[in-house]
Structure 1
């Protein structure tokens, strides 16, 4: 027996209570059951999911349309740049050909008209007929 606060006559009841408690240990187990969602709540979740998917699809289609417009703008700008380069090359070619016309005319013996020379060009489209004689409108103007 243990010495308890200076009194040896005290009987230990606490140790006996511990022994009885250890023999029979009562345990309780909490069981939680998950109940299914009500039909209305399931329907609400389904409608929300469908709405989110539709909004996402609309946004993706709009972004795809914007991407397509940007792509078309870029190709149009590159086509315009190529056309401007072609125009510049053709203008240079035109100037070169104009200079060649003058040189070829001089080689063939043509002379540039001076300010005193008057050149008359009739308005009619036919200046000679098939036999090589002048038409009546040309002789009337002379």
Structure 2
């Protein structure tokens, strides 16, 4: 008996067994796809259309929201620009108000004191009374 790698329990090989190869008979299953029924096709088409409509509605709403945000941002920018212009104009107004007294003194005007009384005579115009008469005459002639 042969000694194989320290194991005596190995069965000695007597002869290589020559086995005949057996052919295995296999069958192949062929499945054919049949066309979808008309109702199922219609159902798929309706589902697809519903998904497209809902997606279109969502996209249009998002586009509208985007447009509103863009308008709001442009309005805010315009308001900021207008506020800057208002601030500049207020500074200009204050500067001009301060120059009024200086320009008046340069032109020779004098500031009125509390004791000075300025009298401005009233004049009545007769044009308003004749205008009222002519409008009443025109109304009575109709």
Provide the residue aligned with 1:116 in structure 2: 115
CA RMSD of superposed structures (Å):
2.2
Q: Which runs of 5+ in 2 are unaligned?
A: 1-18, 126-142
After TM superposition, the score normalised by the length of structure 2 is: 0.68
Aligned residues: 107
Structure 1 residues 55, 104: closer, same or farther in 2, change over 3 A?
same
Q: Distance in 1 between matches of 2:90 and 2:123?
A: 32
Counterpart for residue 53 of structure 1: 52
Unaligned runs of 5+ in 1: 1-17, 127-142
Show the counterpart of 1:70: 69
**Structure 1's 37 and 78: CA in aligned 2 closer, same or farther, altered over 3 A?**
same
* CA spacing shift, 1:26–1:51, aligned 2, 3 Å: same
Change in 2 beyond 3 A, CA 1:43/1:66: same
Shift of 1:27: 3.1
Higher relative contact order (CA 8 A, sep 6+): 1
1:90 matched to 2:92? The reply is no
